[in-house]
Amino acid sequence: DAGITQSPRHKVTETGTPVTLRCHQTENHRYMYWYRQDPGHGLRLIHYSYGVKDTDKGEVSDGYSVSRSKTEDFLLTLESATSSQTSVYFCAISDQRGSYEQYFGPGTRLTVT
């Protein structure tokens, strides 16, 4: 597996609380992505980054924000968690040079009660 980790791996939180998920890579890839996975929906892009401090919205970005202050770290924040944000969150990385493959992290299972 590519050098990509996510933390925490599991989290249970209450509605209305802020939550931050971390993605860390050791591959020096330029591009990083956050997806959520829900039954019947496949993987949907939340936000992505194309460089340090360069981020943009994906198709399901409402209620989420991101930050990338270093090449290796991409943070996903739920400002005020809701039950609809209960999901499995995957981070992915890619260098988009030669290969367009995205390498996925191990995922974070988030439950909002």
Partner 1 sequence: GENVEQHPSTLSVQEGDSAVIKCTYSDSASNYFPWYKQELGKRPQLIIDIRSNVGEKKDQRIAVTLNKTAKHFSLHITETQPEDSAVYFCAASTANAGGTSYGKLTFGQGTILTVHP
State the nearest-atom distance from the C-beta of 16 to partner 1, in Å: 29
Total residues in contact with partner 1, by rule CB under 8 A: 27
Contact string 24-43 vs partner 1 (x = CB under 8 A): -------x-x-x----xxxx
Contact 46, 35 (CB under 8 A): yes
Closest CA to 58 of 79, 43, 73, 78: 43
Question: How does DSSP assign 28-41, residue by residue?
Answer: --SEEEEEEEETTT
Contact string 61-90 vs partner 1 (x = CB under 8 A): -----------------------------x
Rounded CA-CA distance 103/22 in Å is: 16
Q: Interface residues with partner 1 (CB under 8 A)?
A: 1, 31, 33, 35, 40-45, 48, 50, 56, 58-59, 90, 94, 96-98, 100-102, 104-107
